[in-house]
């Protein structure tokens, strides 16, 4: 019923913005939004916003920091960690799984990580799904894993060479910890208030805090400070460290193993998305393919529906295999190269044909998309049905897809925020 949907939307909104449920009941009594109620709600927004500003708005975190904190279900001696299941949820789900509270562990209760984490040779595209909640992932490792999801295969070697600081074609554990500097280095230059600093202390290091002038007593915490990084390092190894370097941390990571891990992770996430819609079948429908591509975009409901309607009107249903889906998603990881190629090729910014699109994809990725997948893409993004694609609009929307909900956007507040929340929820209902 409409009243239940509205209630669900408001509860999500209320969770973020701390509005009174009593006010909501006044607004939606009987399940109907009445004009007087809306006016009353608007008149009280200022008071509610003032309370929220005092409590929450001072905590200025990036979208990825917020997402990590929301999904992290483990706390070890005051520091937050994700489990492998948390990470998968964070990249394919809108909200974390319901839980009463985080699982709290002491430093001596993390030995299970070494016992259950397979070696790199036994890794697969089922790694995270096999581990589920039997593992821990730090914030900087979360950033590292997110970056893998958007890396084209041609960039795997570059990523490996960045970690291989001495150029000996292998990465040891010490070199790997440099990711903490690479993925967290910009934080030390951010202007942060007291509340934000307090929140950040739960995921970042004493080295970072000292650079911000808020250092603490390291000896009382049982922590080890890592000079090259910004992530606080416990006397416990994370799942990635054990997977890459063994239980004793004395093994080296070679490019072949690194490449396979990155490829497996990309495949695992894509399999999760594909299986969500395939329901055990070997193919997904063309409309499901469109929904997957559009699920992380910032489109209005009407615009979103227009894209889906085009697929229904223009494409004969044959089904899309996982290989086709995976190849297209790998092409999206080459979107920057594709964008450059298009700008050089279409100096007048004109629309492109299916053949031109296919040729550009082949040049950027080295593989060919099937005619059916190209036809489906054109059906989605060809605005006027003339058989040509406005590549600028296509690239803009697909960049939203790549960010997977972590794109930094200007947050609306008050009534505008509630309307945006309503739009987003209605769009999710249609998925």
Q: How confident is the model at residue 341 (pLDDT cuts 50, 70, 90)?
A: confident
Q: Between vectors from CA 123 to CA 120 and to CA 129, what angle results, nearest 5°?
A: 135
Alpha helices in 124-170 (DSSP H): 127-131, 139-149, 156-163
Average pLDDT of 201-226? 45
- Torsion region of 249: left, alpha or beta (phi above 0 gives left; psi -120 to 50 gives alpha): left
Considering the domain boundaries, does residue 273 fall inside one?
no
Q: How confident is the model at residue 422 (pLDDT cuts 50, 70, 90)?
A: low
- What are the φ and ψ backbone dihedral angles of 338, each rounded to 5 degrees? -60, -40
Distance separating alpha carbons of residues 171 and 165, to the nearest angstrom: 8
Regarding beta strands 74-76 and 103-105, do their DSSP bridges make them parallel or antiparallel, or are they unpaired? parallel
More confident residue, 78 or 141: 141
Residue 290's closest CA among 276, 275, 303, 304? 304
Considering the domain boundaries, does residue 41 fall inside one?
no
237 and 295 part of one domain? no
Considering the domain boundaries, does residue 173 fall inside one?
yes
95 and 170 part of one domain? yes
Q: How far is CA 338 from CA 359, 362, 406, in A?
A: 10, 10, 22
6 and 74 part of one domain? no
Residue 129 scores a pLDDT above 70: yes
DSSP 98: P
CA 231 to chain centre: 20
With pLDDT > 70 as the criterion, what percentage of the chain qualifies? 65
123 and 245 part of one domain? yes
323 and 287 part of one domain? yes
Residue 120's closest CA among 177, 170, 184, 181? 170
Considering the domain boundaries, does residue 32 fall inside one?
yes
121 and 259 part of one domain? yes
What SS3 class is residue 247?
coil
252 and 298 part of one domain? no
Q: CB neighbours of 104 closer than 8 A, spacing ≥ 6? A: 74, 75, 76
What are the helix and strand counts (H, E) for the chain? 23, 7
| Total domains in the fold of the chain | 3
- The CATH number for 373's domain is 1.10.238
Distance separating alpha carbons of residues 382 and 394, to the nearest angstrom: 9
188 and 254 part of one domain? yes
Distance separating alpha carbons of residues 201 and 210, to the nearest angstrom: 11
185 and 80 part of one domain? yes
DSSP 138: -
Considering the domain boundaries, does residue 423 fall inside one?
no
Distance separating alpha carbons of residues 65 and 158, to the nearest angstrom: 26
CA 316 to chain centre: 32
pLDDT digits (tens, 9 = 90+) for 364-384: 888 899 999 999 999 998 888
What SS3 class is residue 420?
helix
Considering the domain boundaries, does residue 339 fall inside one?
yes
Expressed as residue numbers, the domain containing 370 is 281-402
25 and 88 part of one domain? no
Task: Please provide the distance, in angstroms rounded to a whole number, between the alpha carbons at the two ends of the chain.
Answer: 17
202 and 121 part of one domain? yes
Q: How confident is the model at residue 339 (pLDDT cuts 50, 70, 90)?
A: confident
Q: Which helix (H) or strand (E) holds 355?
A: helix 354-365
248 and 319 part of one domain? no
Q: What is the pTM of this model?
A: 0.73
Considering the domain boundaries, does residue 218 fall inside one?
no
Q: How confident is the model at residue 423 (pLDDT cuts 50, 70, 90)?
A: low
CA 113 to chain centre: 24
pLDDT digits (tens, 9 = 90+) for 227-266: 322 345 556 789 999 999 999 999 999 999 999 999 999 9
Distance separating alpha carbons of residues 389 and 16, to the nearest angstrom: 39
Considering the domain boundaries, does residue 409 fall inside one?
no
């Amino acid at each position: 019923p409409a009243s239940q949907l509205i209630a669900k939307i408001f509860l999500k909104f209320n969770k973020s913005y701390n509005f009174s449920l009593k006010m909501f009941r006044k607004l939606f009594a009987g399940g109907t939004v009445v004009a007087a109620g809306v006016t009353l709600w608007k008149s009280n927004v200022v008071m509610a916003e003032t309370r929220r500003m005092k409590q929450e708005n001072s905590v200025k975190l990036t979208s990825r920091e917020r997402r990590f904190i929301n999904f992290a279900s483990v706390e070890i001696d005051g520091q937050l960690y994700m489990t492998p299941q948390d990470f998968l949820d964070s990249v394919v789900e809108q909200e974390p799984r319901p839980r009463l509270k985080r699982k709290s562990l002491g430093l001596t209760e993390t030995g299970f990580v070494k016992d259950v984490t397979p070696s790199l040779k036994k890794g697969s595209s089922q790694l995270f799904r096999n581990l589920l909640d039997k593992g821990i992932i730090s914030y900087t490792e979360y950033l590292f894993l997110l970056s893998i999801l958007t890396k084209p295969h041609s960039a795997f070697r570059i990523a490996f060479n960045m970690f291989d600081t001495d150029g000996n074609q292998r990465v040891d554990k010490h070199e790997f910890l440099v990711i903490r500097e690479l993925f967290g280095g910009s934080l030390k230059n951010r202007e942060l208030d007291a509340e934000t600093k307090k929140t950040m202390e739960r995921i970042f290091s004493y080295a970072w805090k000292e650079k911000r002038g808020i250092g603490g007593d390291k000896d009382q915490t049982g922590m080890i400070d890592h000079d090259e990084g910004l992530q606080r390092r416990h006397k416990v190894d994370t799942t990635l460290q054990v997977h890459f370097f063994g239980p004793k941390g004395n093994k080296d990571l070679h490019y072949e193993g690194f490449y396979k891990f990155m490829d497996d992770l990309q495949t695992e996430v894509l399999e999760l998305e594909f299986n969500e819609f395939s329901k055990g079948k070997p193919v997904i429908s063309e409309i499901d393919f469109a929904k997957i591509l559009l699920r992380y975009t910032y489109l209005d409901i009407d615009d979103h529906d227009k894209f889906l309607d085009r697929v229904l009107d223009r494409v004969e249903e044959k089904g899309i295999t996982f290989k086709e889906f995976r190849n297209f998603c790998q092409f999206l990881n080459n979107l920057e190269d594709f964008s450059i190629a298009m700008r050089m090729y279409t100096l007048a910014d004109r629309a492109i044909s299916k053949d031109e699109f296919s040729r550009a994809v082949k040049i950027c990725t080295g593989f060919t998309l099937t005619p059916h997948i190209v036809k489906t893409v054109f059906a989605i993004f060809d605005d006027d049905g003339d058989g040509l694609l406005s590549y600028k609009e296509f690239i803009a929307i697909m960049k939203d897809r790549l960010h997977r909900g972590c794109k930094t956007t200007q947050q609306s507040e008050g009534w505008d925020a509630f309307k945006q929340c309503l739009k987003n929820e209605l769009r999710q209902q249609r998925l």
